[in-house]
Each structure stands twice: as C-alpha cells, then as structure tokens.
Structure 1
C-alpha cells in the first residue's frame, strides 16, 4: 500500500495517514466513500462537505478522499473504498475515459457508484450520473457576455481541462450563442486546466499579444479569478470577465465591481442528491431515476450575487 496517502474525514478537519492507521470496516456496513478533486478548489470542497453532511444525517459513516484529478490516485482510492467495504461511492471523477475501469471494478465488488459534476464515457456501470446542465448554463453565461459586450469586440476564451467533458460542453454552449454575433471576434482560446495560476499566466501572455481585448469568458470561476488578477495587475479593469460555477470568490468580485457574472451550478445540493439516491438504492435496489440526470444552472450577476452563498442561492 502506498505510504502517505491521506484521508480527509469529519468536515475536512482530521488528516490520517493510511500508512500509520489501521483500516477499519464500518460496524454495520453503512459506509459512504466520497471522492473528489482537490479541496483547494472551493467547488469541490462544497461537494465533499455537502455529501458528507447528508450522509451523516442519514446515519452513515463517511470517508472523504481526494484524488487531485489524478486517475492513478483515483484508482488507488477506489481500492481503499472497496477494501473498507463501502456501501456506496460518491464521485466527482478524474477523467471521463480513465474512470470507467475503476467504477466497473467497484460494481464488480458489489459497490454502486453515484457520479456528480462530471460524466464518464460509459453508461450502465454507474447507478447515477448527476451533472449540472452545463450546456444550458453556458448559454446563460454567453448571453450575458454578449449583452455586456454590446454584441461586439475582441474577446478571449479560457477553456478547462481537455480530458474533462464539461470543458468541451461549456465551450460549445458559449460558442453556439456568441458565434451568432459576427462583430464579436475571438482572438485567443487557450486551456488553463481549471487552474487560477495557469489562467493568470495565460492571461498575462494573451494580453501582451492582444492589448485591444474587450472581454474574457472562462470555463470556470477559478480561471476567471486568475484572469481577473492578471488584468488588474496590468491596469486593465475595463476588460469584462465572465466565469462559471458560482463561487463565493467570484460573488465577492461581482459585488465589488470586478468580474461581471458567473453561472451557478448547485454543487452542494447536487452532492446531497447523490447521497440521497445512494441511500435509496442501498435500501431498495433502485433510485427511481434514470442514470443520467441534469440540474439546471442559474445566471449570477450584480442583481442577485448578494444571495449567493457556497454554491447555492439563499433568500
């Protein structure tokens, strides 16, 4: 077993090394494993927190594991969940193709998987694939982008991780709207891999090559924050930036007059729905739902940003 592998438990507060701890099985078989990318991204942290809270409300023990978008690490964490005798796995996966074998392995071991946020390329091996309606959300964001751009001007697109199907879906949704406006010209399109640091670096380079840009549309809020930081550093706060996710950081930027808009995908609630379906499946053998399920997104701008809290709208 690989040393220094870490398990994040109990609200992400306790970190226990598997190398120095005895793996124990849930006393009554009621254990839910929650696997997400790094909690450095608040979106993924919200998923983990939401799933863990709901699982505990329903009487389950939990293990919260982080795969860092590394398919090999994800595969090892599946082995951990299987070894622990998990009743179900809640997963935001590390790659649409690379995850198929791990989900199949869990299924073969009698452990159902419930996917959130990102789909995998195969149907029939996960019980549920619950994702935001990324295409619908991207169209909302693109419509707002077109509006604030005044339907004209040079712009940049920062795209997410190429192995992630959401990156392509969001980009398609953006362009199906924006490309209808011939006076809007995309002068650069680059992947920043969902990363704030990469977005900052890419934005600096793009801005040097294209000083006349009017707007930047991003595949997620983390990249939007990186792009905005680069623009601020260059004294270009006139450039209009739109993100996607509905993070508190972008909410605060919108309220401060920085980034102009984002698209909320309900990460916290989506994770809770997955746990609720896992609970029903464990108890009855069925979720009562089809495998692939979409949850609609909501446009967030200056008009409603104050109601946004941890990937949810509150009254």
Structure 2
C-alpha cells in the first residue's frame, strides 16, 4: 500500500464514460499467464446488455488476478520443507514490509513480532519506507547476510522475480503475507481476500440501493497497477454493472492514502455534481473522500470503504459512512507458517482468510471490532 504511481488499470473505465478519470493501460504483474483468454470466459452480464463489455473485461481481470486464484485454491495444496531444521535449532526470520506509513502496516509488524516471540524465534522487521527499490535492496541484503526464511509484504512485485531467484539459489525459503505474486515458488502465501471483499461490498451496495435507478458512483481506487486494487475495484463493480441501475461516473487512484484520496475525490466531485456514492478501495480512501465531501459542503452523498479501520468505524457509527469490510492482517499467521515449514511440517500453498461486512447495525450490536 505504498504511493507508487503507474498507469491505472481498472477495466471498468474502459467501457464506461468516466469524467476526470485517470484510466490507461498497464501491466498487471500478478497476472497468471496460463489463465483463460477473454474468449474462453463465459460472460455473466446479469441480463444488462449495455454493460456487457465492461462486465467481460472485469471478469477477465479477476480470472487473471492472484487474489481470485488464491481464494479458489485456499488450503487445497501444501508444501513441505525437504531439509527441515532440528527441533532445538534456532530460527531467524526476516520480514520485509513495504513501509510503516499506514496503521495497517504497523499492525502487521506488531503481529509478526508477537508471533515470533510466541514461537521462540528471532525476527528482523525491515521497513522499505514506501520505496520499492529500497525493498528490493533490503531483500538482497538479507539474502547476502543470511536468514532462515524471508517473509514479504511487497509494495509492488515488478522485478521481484530476480531477487527471489537469488533466495532460491541461496536455498532460503520465502513467504508472502497479505500481498503476493504468481509465477514464483514461495513456500506459502497467506493473502488477503481482496476480490471477496470487493464482491461482498458491491453486493451489499446493490441491495442497499434496491429500487433506485441511475445511482452515480465515484470510485477512489488504490495503487495504479497493483493487483489488490484491481481485485477490489473490479469485484466491487461487477454486481453494480450487472444490476444495470448504477453509473460509474468517475474513477481516480488515491494510492491507498487519505491525503491522495482526498485530492482525487475533490477532482471527481468537482466534475460530477450528481454523485450519490463515493467508494474507497480502502478505508483511507473512503475517509479521504469523506473529507473532500465535508470540505465542499456536499451532503446526501454516501461513503463506503474496505479495511475496517478504527476511524471508519467511528464514521459509520456517526452516520458519516455506510459500510466497510474487515481486512484481517496476516503477518502473524505467516510467522507461524514459516516456523512450521522450517521445522518440517506441511504448510498451505495458499491461505485466504474470510471477510466480514460492517454496518452501523453490526457496530451498535457490538458484533464487530476494528481490524486496526
């Protein structure tokens, strides 16, 4: 979730008139080269022929997306270390995290350190300070200096394959947490259900606006070119496109950061005076959108997001936002998996955690707690 800028890949833009949009082609570095081509996918447009092309493109993106594939394969296959450590051998893990500029990233660090202490192993957490080049350098340094295993939460995966080849040559197993990639050979990937989160929120939005037509939606997407943003935005958009009662009138990236998202929302709201709903690809984006609405004195515009952070809970409870989806941190689980693998126990190739939708009703009932 670092502010790395590339060309926005959101496929919904390609077939929808988007005022003030930043849509252009880009490479999805997590695409599956073996995935079916667009002509091989059965398009489910829900009977909405006007959105058929946009739906087909969104489906294709999700079919190639790591997080859709991971959800389908979760807990179905395992890997076992061919050269396990002894029961009493010390273990040192290196956790390369993209940065600590977001509260969720800070939570990941905390959980990883707690899990390492619980397992009786040493962990070195190395922050790349939101710099993808620094992260690659950090990984190369860890490989050169020696570590029993690498854990990674990458800001971006472009070019990461070369670094991972170095790890394989050094016989250092590696693991992905939250975000991952295809086309490499990690011991395990414990990933966030980005596609499922988007789908869950999109279906809830369709139900919430049932009976209304021409609902105008502005989307604040995440990092351009990032598979997590692609998964969330396209999976969210599909139910809306199939419902045939929503107009996605604008889409701009907010880089998963509140300040950038506020600026993106200001641009979209200025160009689209009739927006009914602002959607954030995460809660920081949604809260940035909320700030833009408040600064502009705009009322009657709904806001939804994804992550389940504390500030979003407060906004929902106060009636300033409608809903979010709990985004569960995974770093602690990956530490557990890494220790198991190093000790010779099988670990899942993919693991995806379940998601939970949060509204004012669930908060008031006390049945949901913030993710961070």
Q: TM-score, normalised by structure 1?
A: 0.83
Could you list the per-position Cα deviations for residues 124-161 of structure 1 after superposition, in whole angstroms to 9, with x for gaps in the alignment? Answer: 2x111111222211111112222333453111111111
Q: Which residue of 2 aligns with 1:133?
A: 193
Give the one of 105, 109, 122 matched to 2:166: 105
Could you list the per-position Cα deviations for residues 98-129 of structure 1 after superposition, in whole angstroms to 9, with x for gaps in the alignment? Answer: 322222322322221110111213232x1111
Give the one of 91, 97, 122 matched to 2:183: 122
| Distance in 2 between residues matched to 1:45 and 1:72, nearest whole Å | 20
Contact 1:139 1:177 in 2 (8 A): yes
Deviation at 1:163, TM superposition (A): 2.5
Worse-matched range after superposition: 143-152 or 258-267? 143-152
Using CA pairs below 8 Å that are at least 6 residues apart, which structure has the higher relative contact order? 2
Gaps of 5+ in 1: 1-27
- Per the alignment, in what secondary structure is the counterpart of residue 185 of structure 1? strand
| Distance in 2 between residues matched to 1:288 and 1:94, nearest whole Å | 24
- Per the alignment, in what secondary structure is the counterpart of residue 303 of structure 1? helix
Deviation at 1:61, TM superposition (A): 1.6
- Per the alignment, in what secondary structure is the counterpart of residue 62 of structure 1? strand
Give the one of 128, 138, 148 matched to 1:77: 138
Deviation at 1:237, TM superposition (A): 3.9
Q: Which residue of 2 aligns with 1:39?
A: 100
Q: TM-score, normalised by structure 2?
A: 0.71
Contact 1:243 1:263 in 2 (8 A): yes
Contact 1:244 1:263 in 2 (8 A): yes
Deviation at 1:192, TM superposition (A): 1.5
| Distance in 2 between residues matched to 1:191 and 1:29, nearest whole Å | 44
Could you list the per-position Cα deviations for residues 3-48 of structure 1 after superposition, in whole angstroms to 9, with x for gaps in the alignment? Answer: xxxxxxxxxxxxxxxxxxxxxxxxx752111222222211111111
Contact 2:199 2:239 in 1 (8 A): yes
Q: Which residue of 2 aligns with 1:304?
A: 362
Is 2:240 the partner of 1:181?
A: no
Could you list the per-position Cα deviations for residues 229-272 of structure 1 after superposition, in whole angstroms to 9, with x for gaps in the alignment? Answer: 111111224211111111112112111211211111211xx211
Give the one of 175, 189, 202 matched to 2:264: 202
Is 2:349 the partner of 1:287?
A: no
Distance 1:232-1:149 versus aligned 2 partners, 3 A rule: farther
Q: Which residue of 2 aligns with 1:259?
A: 321
- Per the alignment, in what secondary structure is the counterpart of residue 242 of structure 2? coil
Distance 1:258-1:94 versus aligned 2 partners, 3 A rule: same
| Distance in 1 between residues matched to 2:167 and 2:90, nearest whole Å | 15
Aligned residues: 280
| Distance in 2 between residues matched to 1:107 and 1:310, nearest whole Å | 38
| Distance in 1 between residues matched to 2:242 and 2:261, nearest whole Å | 26
| Distance in 2 between residues matched to 1:231 and 1:189, nearest whole Å | 16
Give the one of 211, 231, 234 matched to 1:172: 234
| Distance in 1 between residues matched to 2:112 and 2:165, nearest whole Å | 22
Distance 1:310-1:38 versus aligned 2 partners, 3 A rule: farther
Q: CA RMSD in A?
A: 1.8
